[in-house]
Amino acid sequence: MRDAYIVTSIRTPGCKRGKGAFKDTLPEDLLAFILDAAVRQTPGLEKKDVEDIMIGCAFPEAEQGLNIGRICAQIAGFPDSTSGATVNRFCSSGLEAIALSALRIMAGWSDVVIGGGVESMTFVPMGGNMPRPHPVYTREHADLYASMGITAENVARRYDISRQAQDEFACHSQMKAAGAREKGRFTEIVPTPATSYVIQPDGTMKRETFVQDFDDGIRPETTIEALSKLRPVFAANGSVTAGNSSQTTDGAAATVLMSKDKVEELGLEPVARLRLYTTVGVKADEMGVGPRYAIPRLLDMAGLTIDDIGLWEINEAFASQALYCIRELGLEKYMDRINVNGGAIALGHPLGCTGAKLCATLLANMRAKGVKYGVESMCIGGGMGAAALFELCE
């Protein structure tokens, strides 16, 4: 098999659902912009060189429907010959799309593919616009459709993750993110045009554009004490709060992958190779445990141990599940390698975009720190885990 090289990996800022900077920006606009930016940021690459665009999206319907991968290829000005697809594996959709893109190259079927992800949770809410759990199956097995909050409560309760530990973890995530933003460490962010509707003197509204260049969910002022006062939102006497859960967010991300031949033809310096990707199923009602099973499988395949991994991006769907996975994987000694710029509790979890977004963040950090191996992993609604291994190019 050939190697799949990542030459560019970027993202839009992540902005709060419903009230953040992208509340009036269509998901198509976020995605088309980041696809265009990915080509612009890859010297020598022309749009016509891109054979396919694979886009992760957790709720591919309404504005995100009709195969947003193809729609946005067109909106972004790719030629008709560039095809597009939508990829859905819920919370790892973006990573799945990058992995599929890599496989195309590794199999020798393509030379340039863009993998990415998009989710506007403002426009298409969690669960989608028309949720339709199966009427007969749910009579006995409604746990398949368990709300994410309930799964987080289940993990906290079954595996003794205390409220205090969750709040401390959440606060730490916020502090890391605030520090990273202040120090300009989010180099993977591309300032992105955002839409706003502005009232005119005659009372009508007009669509206008401004540029958003930072993640707007970060709360530098938060404290453990403030977090400890929040009420549990998902269960009576629960421990999972809005403060120790990931934020619902709008965003898009894109990664350009190439074969070695194409890298050399364009004279590019690739960032990393996507070495391995794996997924695993777990119980639906505790889907948050996913990384605890996906990561060992990934490391086994790679013949590596946790000690070999210099940086981790483990998606913080909830503090409870992130803490559980970290504890069970024996990663507590490497807390300084995990989510170094903060995680989804501070930066948001735009579902189908997250896999692509974390890839961009991980690669930026690997490059900045010269780390050889980086792992990205997340839990997945419905009961799964995913993990990918990236290796920095020397």
- Cα→Cα distances 233→91, 174, 240, 317, Å: 21, 20, 7, 15
Q: Is 231 in the site for other proteins (CB under 8 A)?
A: no
**58/280 with CB nearer other proteins:** 58
Binding window for other proteins (CB under 8 A); candidates: 18-26, 51-59, 150-158, 175-183: 150-158
User: In the annotation, is 15 catalytic?
Assistant: no
Q: Angle 27-255-53 (CA atoms, 0-180°, nearest 5)?
A: 65
Q: Of 1, 136, 199, 211, which one interacts with other proteins (CB under 8 A)?
A: 136
Q: Side-chain half-sphere of 38: how many Cα atoms within 13 Å?
A: 37
Catalytic: which of 72, 171, 325, 349?
Answer: 349
- Cα→Cα distances 362→237, 311, 354, Å: 36, 7, 12
Q: Is 234 in the site for other proteins (CB under 8 A)?
A: yes
Q: Is 381 in the site for other proteins (CB under 8 A)?
A: no
Q: Of 44, 133, 193, 330, which one interacts with other proteins (CB under 8 A)?
A: 133
Give the separation between CA 39 and CA 190, rounded to whole angstroms: 12
Helix spans in 245-289 (H) = 260-266
Catalytic: which of 57, 171, 353, 379?
Answer: 379
SS3 171: helix
Q: How far is the CB of 287 from other proteins (least distance, A)?
A: 13
Q: How far is the CB of 165 from other proteins (least distance, A)?
A: 21
Give the separation between CA 254 and CA 8, rounded to whole angstroms: 8
**154/315 with CB nearer other proteins:** 154
Four-residue CA torsion sign, 358, 43, 390, 74 = positive
Answer yes or no: are the C-beta atoms of 344 and 246 closer than 8 Å. yes
Binding window for other proteins (CB under 8 A); candidates: 54-62, 230-238, 290-298, 359-367: 230-238
Q: Is 119 in the site for other proteins (CB under 8 A)?
A: no
User: In the annotation, is 349 catalytic?
Assistant: yes
Q: Rule CB under 8 A: which residues touch other proteins? A: 129-139, 142-143, 145-147, 149-150, 153-154, 234-238, 285
The catalytic residue positions are 91, 349, 379
